[in-house]
Structure 1
Amino acid sequence: SRARITSMRLKGIAGRMEKAKIAIKWTPSLAKQLAEAGCSEEYGARELRRTVDRMVEQPLADGILDGVFKAGAKLTIRWKEGNVVFDQEAA
């Protein structure tokens, strides 16, 4: 299912973030909403992968490069009003 593929992509991102010492978790609705946002009859799962990359992985990478997310950060990723939101726990 699309939600399962999305969850697998998120788990892969979580694994890569672990190497940067950044812990991420996500709300249950995030995978479902991303799966719907990335739904494409024409491109199938490839569009889903691009959606997750564009809405989750790229903003995470930008946050690391910009110094917003640092080693030791704990993030919760959620869906809010059509957007992905990154909540950072106070250290």
Structure 2
Amino acid sequence: MSFPESSRATQGLVIDEQLIFERPPGACSGASLPEAGVPESDPAGEIPEEYLRGEIEGMPCLYEPEVVRHFVRLSQLNWSLDTGFYPLGSCT
């Protein structure tokens, strides 16, 4: 009995998932709020310097559903609780 060479076998689905920081940076805001009717002020002038955070270089503009989808895809590369069977051996 002869078997075909393993180099010609298919490997199934291969997903090339980018790292979060490999995505292109963008300019987006977290929320769009209506006008408040009060004069605007600069938060840097109201908050002490030691509590202010600088810009994160290379931080991509991602929305919450995109981040969730990213980590779900990463979790399914190893083993997916939703799509796989994992026998625990507790049925005796």
Task: Name whichever structure is richer in strand by fraction.
Answer: 1
Bin the TM-score by the shorter chain: under 0.3
Give the greater-gyration-radius structure (CA).
2
Work out which structure has the larger RCO, using CA pairs closer than 8 Å and 6 or more positions apart in sequence: 2
Q: TM-score, normalised by structure 2?
A: 0.21
Larger helix share, 1 or 2: 1
What is the TM-score normalised by the length of structure 1? 0.21
